[in-house]
Amino acid sequence: MKEQLQKDFDNTIKNLTLSQKDIEIKKFYLDNFINKGFPNRREEDWRFSDLNQIIKKNIGELSFYSDYTSTNKVDTSVFVDGLEHNKIVFINGRIEKIDFDYEKKDQIEIIDQSETINKFNNNSPLCDLNSAFNNKSFKIVVKEGYQLIKPLIIYHTTNSKIWSKNINLRLNFELYEKSSLRLIDLFRDTSEKNFLNIFYNFDLKENSILKNYKVDKFENKNIKYSFNNIEQDKNSISETFILSSGSNFCKNEINCNLNGEYSSAFVNGIFSINNNKHHEIRTIINHLTENTKSYQLIKSVLEDSSKAVYQGKIFVNSKAQKTDGYQLSKAILLNKDSEFNAKPELEIYADDVKCSHGSASGSLNEDSIFYLMSRGLNYQQSIELLINGFLLDVVEKITDPEVKNLIKNMIGIKE
């Protein structure tokens, strides 16, 4: 893999106009990654999902160089109907379109950061890989007091032109005081056997609101890793919703630093997976100051020989008195070959806190099925109704009505 990395790195550098110093920095990240390699189960964070093995088994040899010199045609048929929205379109990892047609132009700033190296607050090998190879990166700034009229949908589309490729994306968001942003990450893949490695950074200033929805719904054979870092100032709110369903393997990591008083973070997620899929959500909520709040709810429905993993951590440092932290994960195993692993973790150094977590996994309640069947439903209908209700609970947590409807339609949940 080492020669491949080195070769692809040289090719990537050729197409960029970087200063010698920046190339050195990128080289440094490359060397870091070469030393560490893809994470494997010996690392605590990856003990339930051995990425090294997963890539070996599903993809084999990866290549890291992508030719971004030619443009791809934007296929408008993938766009979401019935909801006016702003767009960022990635095709095979290349940014093809950024448009904020519905917004006041002077309130949103798009800064091209491709020519500068921006450090990311994470030293995992995947972050090193991303820093070494990511091509164009943008910073999107929402100005003070501006609230976006329409949501922003980021389309991640891939097509059959690429295979066995590693794609590295990075975006930065900065939300100034009292601003707000609704963001939907939407994956539409028609390619196979690629590894997407996505890093987002969010900087939330005082009183800003971020609603961050990640939708991986459509069936595909790709492997995905996404890391979101959210820095929160005073009174800011972040809401994250994850629908984890379509990809062969997918791991979503949310790292949330509650730096300012009265800031709050909400993370809700659904695993709905079948076949041999293996999905993971890992959350780390760091309560770093007084009077902060976090709430997490993860529900899973596992069919066939699928496997879901939830690792959630609430960290409370000694300054963070009056913290309120809550975490709940529930899983239904529908097949004898499915598997659910959880590691809900509390690390607490302050005494005046209210922190709790719960985790439950098991089969559907036979009594409930019996009840529904006695009311005239057949077995299959009863199960569907119960699962519908089970998942609806999480979808109802979405605070934005437009997006809530969109997601409900997408997964076919009825009220």
**Using an 8 Å Cβ cutoff, are 113 and 93 in contact?**
no
Extract the tokens encoding 198.
Answer: 């996505």
Could you give phi then psi for residue 412, rounded to 5 degrees? 70, 35
How far apart are CB 165 and other proteins at their closest, in Å?
Answer: 33
- Number of residues that make up the chain: 415
How far apart are CB 320 and other proteins at their closest, in Å?
Answer: 9
Q: Please report, as ranges, the residues that interact with other proteins according to CB under 8 A.
A: 44, 318, 321, 331, 333-363
Q: Please, which residue, 284 or 353, has the CB nearer to other proteins?
A: 353
Q: Please, which residue, 349 or 379, has the CB nearer to other proteins?
A: 349
Q: Please, which residue, 215 or 301, has the CB nearer to other proteins?
A: 301
**Using an 8 Å Cβ cutoff, are 301 and 329 in contact?**
no
- 3-class SS of residue 115: coil
Q: Please, which residue, 151 or 344, has the CB nearer to other proteins?
A: 344
Distances (CA, A) of 180 to 143, 176, 202, 389: 9, 8, 12, 31
DSSP 74-93: --GGGSPTTS--EEEEEETT
Helix (H) or strand (E) holding 32, with range, is: helix 20-36
Q: Please, which residue, 129 or 342, has the CB nearer to other proteins?
A: 342
How far apart are CB 302 and other proteins at their closest, in Å?
Answer: 8
Q: Please, which residue, 24 or 347, has the CB nearer to other proteins?
A: 347
How far apart are CB 251 and other proteins at their closest, in Å?
Answer: 17
In angstroms, the CA 8 to CA 194 distance is 16
**Using an 8 Å Cβ cutoff, are 248 and 306 in contact?**
no
Q: Please, which residue, 142 or 320, has the CB nearer to other proteins?
A: 320
In angstroms, the CA 277 to CA 26 distance is 33
How far apart are CB 235 and other proteins at their closest, in Å?
Answer: 24
How far apart are CB 121 and other proteins at their closest, in Å?
Answer: 23
How far apart are CB 147 and other proteins at their closest, in Å?
Answer: 37
DSSP 166-178: EEEEEEEEEE-TT
CB within 8 Å of 347: residues ≥ 6 apart? 313, 314, 315, 316
